[in-house]
């Protein structure tokens, strides 16, 4: 968007982060991104994980990823040139490749290394922020330079928590990292929400963990529970978001509800 010839930031930038592996960061990035696109929001997923699961899960084979987030962070390609449309209308992706695992070593002498992604997103022509309503960043399972870059660029962090016994383990460390990023790089950063994932209603532990998390963390926890649902785990092997794979399954309905809840929270935030 251009106001008096100046580009204006409109995108809401949210990072899916939790240094615990396998908690649903990528599944949430793909399916929340799809939900937002289906709700008419222009959305891009920035795959910041060298595993490239968000890219694979959206149907991008390794050999199809000609330009990736590695090229953008390394400085050889503007981020907009890395973007590809997906099969979902309104949803784009900046794919990742395994090269990204070496980026922290490559940037070690660069004093601006923690602000690389922010600089790319805030490009002077406003091509990223004006083109999208939502920018979702899928982080790796680590509090490394890539996750710090995501936190430095984001307005908010969404934290998926798996409904299992050690759900809250590591959260103190994650919150500590968010606070350090707030202090040094991004004062406006917030934890925007906690998303309970892989909820199993037949398992009493799942509901105990969900209650415990709500008691400890309050309103920040989304009301929507993402159930454990086999369709959610099958969809990525077909390169599809679950809503395109099986629109009526419990996983699809849950991610649609989560999208609605996020949009309603964000409209309240903007109105406040």
Which residues of the shown chain bind ligand ATP in the complex (CB under 6 A)?
A: 21-27, 49, 51, 53, 141, 197-198, 226, 228-229, 232-233, 236
Handedness of CA 120, 63, 49, 144 (dihedral sign): negative
Q: Dihedrals φ, ψ of 167, to 5°?
A: -50, -45
Q: How far apart are CA 33 and CA 159, in angstroms?
A: 15
CA 23 to chain centre: 13
Least Å from the CB of residue 227 to ligand ATP: 6
Could you say which of ligand ATP, Mg ion, none residue 197 binds, taking C-beta under 5 to 8 angstroms by partner kind?
ligand ATP
Judged by beta carbon, residue 126 or residue 137, the one nearer Mg ion is 137
Least Å from the CB of residue 18 to ligand ATP: 6
Could you say which of ligand ATP, Mg ion, none residue 236 binds, taking C-beta under 5 to 8 angstroms by partner kind?
ligand ATP
Judged by beta carbon, residue 138 or residue 266, the one nearer Mg ion is 138
Could you say which of ligand ATP, Mg ion, none residue 22 binds, taking C-beta under 5 to 8 angstroms by partner kind?
ligand ATP
Could you say which of ligand ATP, Mg ion, none residue 31 binds, taking C-beta under 5 to 8 angstroms by partner kind?
none
Least Å from the CB of residue 23 to ligand ATP: 4
CA 80-18-109 angle, 5° bins: 60
Least Å from the CB of residue 197 to ligand ATP: 5
Catalog residues that contact Mg ion under the rule CB under 5 A: 25-26, 53
Least Å from the CB of residue 235 to ligand ATP: 8
Judged by beta carbon, residue 23 or residue 151, the one nearer ligand ATP is 23
Least Å from the CB of residue 132 to ligand ATP: 21
């Amino acid at each position: 968007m251009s106001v008096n010839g100046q580009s204006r930031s409109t995108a809401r930038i949210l990072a899916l982060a939790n240094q615990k592996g396998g908690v649903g960061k990528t599944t949430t990035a793909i399916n929340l991104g799809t939900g937002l696109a289906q709700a008419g929001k222009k959305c891009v997923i920035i795959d910041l994980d060298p595993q490239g699961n968000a890219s694979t899960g959206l149907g991008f084979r390794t050999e199809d990823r000609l330009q990736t987030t590695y090229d953008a962070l390394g400085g050889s390609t503007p981020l907009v040139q890395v973007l590809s449309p997906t099969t979902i209308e309104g949803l784009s992706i900046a794919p990742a490749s395994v090269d990204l695992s070496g980026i922290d070593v490559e940037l070690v002498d660069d004093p601006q290394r923690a602000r690389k992604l922010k600089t790319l997103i805030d490009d002077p022509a406003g091509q990223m922020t004006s083109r999208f309503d939502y920018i979702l960043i899928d982080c790796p399972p680590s509090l490394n330079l890539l996750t710090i870059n995501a936190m430095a660029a984001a307005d908010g962090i969404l934290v998926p928590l798996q409904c299992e016994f050690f759900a809250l383990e590591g959260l103190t460390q994650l919150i500590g990292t968010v606070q350090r990023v707030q202090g040094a790089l991004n004062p406006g950063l917030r934890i925007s929400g906690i998303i309970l994932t892989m909820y199993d209603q037949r398992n009493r532990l799942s509901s105990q963990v969900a209650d415990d998390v709500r008691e400890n963390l309050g309103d920040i926890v989304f009301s929507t529970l993402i159930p454990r649902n086999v369709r959610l785990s099958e969809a990525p092997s077909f390169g599809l978001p679950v809503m395109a794979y099986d629109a009526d399954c419990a996983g699809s309905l849950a991610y649609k509800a989560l999208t609605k809840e996020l949009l309603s929270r964000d409209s309240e935030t903007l109105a406040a």
